[in-house]
């Protein structure tokens, strides 16, 4: 599992890896988040277009297609994408972004 930075106002680890079946947390820092911003996590599997995997505004929520959760801090200045049991199909570049 790899992570990359998308926008200047969002910071992520440049690289993160785990073994198949071992939970992983992808952290994202966004200290200048605006009240109108939503937090989006995308992933891009090699040779494919990016796909939205989770989105939240103020509260944490479970992911629909993958065993995991998008965690949002109380002040909304940070978030994390938690994958419970990532498999080989989850190997991708994960992006965190803010927007409407």
CA atoms within 13 A on the CB side of 97: 15
Domain ranges, residue 26: 11-99
Residue 91 lies in a domain: yes
Confidence (pLDDT) at 82: 93
Contacts of 84 (CB under 8 A, 6+ apart): 23, 67, 68, 69
- Cα gap 21→98, rounded to integer Å: 29
Residue 33 lies in a domain: yes
Taking a C-beta distance cutoff of 8 angstroms, is the pair 23, 82 a contact?
Answer: yes
Tell me the mean pLDDT in the region 26-55.
Answer: 91
Threshold 0.85, pTM exceeds: no
Count how many domains the chain has: 1
The CATH number that applies at residue 50 is 2.60.40.10
């Amino acid at each position: 599992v790899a992570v990359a930075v998308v926008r200047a106002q969002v910071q992520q680890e440049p690289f993160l890896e785990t073994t198949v079946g071992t939970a992983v947390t992808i952290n994202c820092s966004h200290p200048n988040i605006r009240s109108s911003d939503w937090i989006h996590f995308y992933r891009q599997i090699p040779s494919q277009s990016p796909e939205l995997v989770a989105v939240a505004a103020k509260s944490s929520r479970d992911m629909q297609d993958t065993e995991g959760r998008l965690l949002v801090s109380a002040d909304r200045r940070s978030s994390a994408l938690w994958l419970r049991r990532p498999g080989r199909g989850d190997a991708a570049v994960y992006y965190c972004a803010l927007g409407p």
